Amino acid sequence: MLQKGWKDSLLSLYAQSRRNSRFHHCPSDKTKRLLQSQIFQPTNLLEDNRPSWLTYKSQQLMLQAGLIHPSSPGCYSYLPVMVRAMEKLIRLIDKEMQGLGGQKINMPSLCSATLWKKSERWDLVGKELFRLRDRLSKEYCLGPTHEEVITDLIASQHNFSYKKLPLLLYQITRKFRDEPSPRYGLLRSREFYMKDMYTFDVSEEAARHTYRTVCDAYCRVLSRLGLQFLKVQASAGNIGGQMSHEFQLPAEIGEDELLVCSSCEFSANVETVQPDQNRCPACQGELTKSKGIEIGHTFYLGTKYSSTFNAVYFNAQLEPVVVEMGCYGLGVTRMLAAAIEILSTADGIRWPELIAPYQVLLIPPKQGSKEEGATALIEALYDDISKAIPQLKDDMVLDDRSYFTIGKRLNYANQLGYPYVIIAGKRALDTPSQFEVQCQNTGETLFLSKEGVMGLLNEVPAV
């Protein structure tokens, strides 16, 4: 039981405990160099370097490079290097979504069966839905998407005015899907990160305009990553709605079959056209078959969910009107895997430059080599870049494993993927020093002075 003077006596205790150093104070951390030897990137998790069950390049490379580790089928732990790339991709998506006026929210994973029964998806989705009961036997599913939850949230507002529209809400959260055969690493897993946006508009016309602006933002995300893509006519599946597109990264290993017109801009998932159709419905041009990895899916929903949940806004005449909706998915972890699948070589990961986990790797000479004297030079280069180009400060790694030859460390670098690898080789001891710079994404090798390196790195894009 707390007496009346409780707060006062507690405050006096604080004062005492401060004097008694109950409150710890530590000096803040100094700037340290990031050392390759200390990064948790276990490259020794695979018994056999190329197990036969690894059919996809990205999965093999991501496991070999210590980016992910399987926990149970289709469920992965993302390791530190992977988390860095993912956080960069999330920042990129945040910027593009917020540039449209999108506002970020975060909805629960546990979605009540009541809501899902209302939309009839509880039965429709079937076994892909992870289902569970709580201690009171109430039923839930683990949300694969959140149309029900968000429409219910919008419906719960009173006097929701037309002045608030268009409203664009999105989240970047973990999603769940009980895939019949989870495989291909992060390309088809049972837990994954997805950006899902839900939009609300006053009319079909406004909703179609919003739909186009969100699709344009998807195009910008993919362009900024340097990924070629197709926006194809798609089936709306169990999400529903009246218009739908997929964003596909063309890849021979893609699971989606596409038809692309050689004369106009029509392209479609084969699911959406008649079997054996080989002429473009728009211009009668020839349709070419292609394959793609789906990384985004957009839906103009109309009032499919809003009418069921009675989500209405009030117009200028204060009359309730059912709100027009759209929804827009973008696979975050899948996009990372797909980019690796498409950009990498057979032996080495290549990242979209903007979201590479680390932009720069610096390799000092081998211990005991003739060039060992250049160690201090490349360490000074690290510190100078760190000071002069603040956005690279946390994006540089020093490969301090100087017990390995430069060649061996270059092999690692080639496998793990760094847009810029800087080597203190023979010419580092020239006057002035020349550093070897390997640009992994372009394949170029340059010999540059310190100023030249700084000039090059100053242009590295950051998100």
Q: Which of residues 275-314 bind a second copy (CB under 8 A)?
A: 288-291
Q: Is 248 in the site for a second copy (CB under 8 A)?
A: no
Taking CB under 8 A as the criterion, which residues in 28-57 touch a second copy? 28-29, 37-40, 42, 44-45
Size of the site for a second copy (CB under 8 A): 103
Closest distance to a second copy from the beta carbon of 79 (Å): 6
CB of 163 or CB of 444, closer to a second copy: 163
Closest distance to a second copy from the beta carbon of 432 (Å): 35
Is the separation of the CB atoms in 369 and 402 below 8 Å? no
Taking CB under 8 A as the criterion, which residues in 374-433 touch a second copy? none
CB of 289 or CB of 387, closer to a second copy: 289
Stretch of residues binding a second copy (CB under 8 A), selected from 56-64, 237-245, 261-269, 315-323: 261-269
Taking CB under 8 A as the criterion, which residues in 111-130 touch a second copy? 111-112, 127, 130
Distances in Å between the Cα of 92 and the Cα atoms of 67, 217, 294 are 20, 11, 19
Closest distance to a second copy from the beta carbon of 78 (Å): 4
> In the set 51, 55, 77, 432, which binds a second copy (CB under 8 A)?
77
Closest distance to a second copy from the beta carbon of 460 (Å): 19
> In the set 51, 55, 75, 117, which binds a second copy (CB under 8 A)?
75
CB of 28 or CB of 274, closer to a second copy: 28
Taking CB under 8 A as the criterion, which residues in 176-215 touch a second copy? 176, 178, 180, 190-191, 213, 215
> In the set 8, 16, 55, 461, which binds a second copy (CB under 8 A)?
16
Q: Is 140 in the site for a second copy (CB under 8 A)?
A: yes
SS3 of 439, please? strand
Q: Is 92 in the site for a second copy (CB under 8 A)?
A: no
Cα gap 335→194, rounded to integer Å:
9
Q: Is 9 in the site for a second copy (CB under 8 A)?
A: yes
Distances in Å between the Cα of 19 and the Cα atoms of 5, 92, 423 are 22, 46, 52
> In the set 8, 17, 367, 393, which binds a second copy (CB under 8 A)?
17
CB of 404 or CB of 447, closer to a second copy: 404
Q: Does 166 sit behind a cis peptide bond, omega within 30 degrees of 0 on the bond before it?
A: yes
Query: What is the β-pairing status of strands 360-363 and 420-423?
Result: parallel
Distances in Å between the Cα of 316 and the Cα atoms of 162, 202, 205, 291 are 7, 11, 17, 48
- Using alpha carbons, select from 207, 221, 182 the residue that is nearest to residue 98: 221
Residues 6+ apart with CB under 8 A from 254: 248, 291, 292, 293, 294
> In the set 13, 282, 380, 388, which binds a second copy (CB under 8 A)?
13
CB atoms within 10 A of CB 38: 11
Is the separation of the CB atoms in 383 and 394 below 8 Å? no
Radius of gyration of the chain (CA): 27
Closest distance to a second copy from the beta carbon of 307 (Å): 21
Taking CB under 8 A as the criterion, which residues in 217-246 touch a second copy? 217, 219-220, 223, 228, 230-231
Extract the tokens encoding 62.
Answer: 């991501």
Closest distance to a second copy from the beta carbon of 191 (Å): 5
Is the separation of the CB atoms in 217 and 330 below 8 Å? no
Residues 6+ apart with CB under 8 A from 247: 218, 222, 229, 230, 231, 294, 295, 296, 297, 298, 330
